[in-house]
């Protein structure tokens, strides 16, 4: 048996910047078929972790750096989750990694879903809160963080859930080019069709829009705020 503190030390050692733990009872409102117990029936705790996303990618005129970093960091999250699960098995604890970016179509709600929502696991584990733009906002790194998670059979001490960070200023709603945020629940396919896809001229897949992330007043967090100050001083 390992304590929550030791669990976090292992994840930090593997490269995570944030880590939190949620008890299974925090997922009672999960959509049918997408509850942690639908994946691992013996799950007692959910361990969520995050890695900071380089904020400089928001300042680039080219879409390529942001896209490539996103693809690379997704692989990093999956590698951390896998290595962590193998380490837990050495301690006789069963854990299952949740893919960082793999979705399946949910016919009941007409949207793509992960087997368990990464951002909802992170919110339940106290990493941050989901903003009006549907992104997780953390106190430390704002929305510039990528998420991973592991389902665990061991009952662990959970972290406190954060109070809401988003102030519903609606800047993200107003700036969205396709009005994907006009309703309380994001129009997922509308957003994805506009933001993600092939560049026909250069024949490469790109993420071409992250305006809601750019404009959010909480997009950087406390540990990235100096980077914004430095950029302003250069102007």
Strands 129-130 and 45-52: unpaired
pLDDT in tens, 22-80: 999 999 999 989 999 999 999 999 999 999 999 999 889 899 999 999 999 999 999 99
pLDDT in tens, 161-205: 999 999 999 999 999 999 999 998 999 999 999 999 877 666 678
Which SS3 state, helix, strand or coil, does residue 127 take?
A: coil
How far does Cα 55 stand from its chain's mean position? 15
Q: What is the pTM of this model?
A: 0.91
Distances (CA, A) of 141 to 53, 54, 68, 144: 8, 10, 20, 6
Q: What is the mean pLDDT of residues 84-100?
A: 96
Q: What is the mean pLDDT of residues 83-107?
A: 93
Which SS3 state, helix, strand or coil, does residue 163 take?
A: coil
Contact 21, 159 (CB under 8 A): yes
């Amino acid at each position: 048996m390992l304590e929550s503190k030791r669990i976090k030390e292992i994840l930090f050692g593997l490269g995570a910047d944030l880590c939190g733990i949620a008890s299974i009872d925090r997922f009672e409102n999960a959509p049918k078929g997408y509850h942690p117990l639908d994946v691992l029936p013996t799950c007692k705790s959910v361990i969520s972790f995050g890695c900071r996303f380089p904020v400089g990618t928001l300042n680039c005129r080219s879409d390529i750096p942001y896209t490539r970093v996103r693809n690379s960091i997704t692989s990093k999250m999956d590698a951390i989750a896998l290595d962590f699960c193998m380490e837990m098995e050495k301690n006789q604890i069963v854990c299952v990694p949740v893919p960082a970016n793999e979705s399946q179509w949910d016919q009941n709600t007409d949207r793509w879903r992960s087997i368990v929502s990464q951002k909802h696991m992170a919110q339940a584990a106290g990493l941050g809160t989901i903003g009006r733009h549907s992104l997780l906002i953390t106190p430390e790194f704002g929305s510039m963080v990528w998420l991973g998670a592991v389902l665990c059979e061991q009952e662990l001490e959970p972290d406190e859930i954060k109070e809401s960070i988003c102030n519903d200023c609606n800047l993200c709603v107003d700036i969205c080019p396709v009005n994907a945020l006009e309703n309380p629940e994001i129009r997922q396919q509308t957003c994805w069709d506009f933001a993600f896809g092939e560049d026909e001229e250069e024949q490469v897949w790109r993420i071409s829009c992250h305006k809601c992330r750019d404009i959010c007043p909480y997009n950087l967090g406390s540990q990235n705020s100096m980077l914004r100050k430095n950029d302003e001083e250069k102007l």
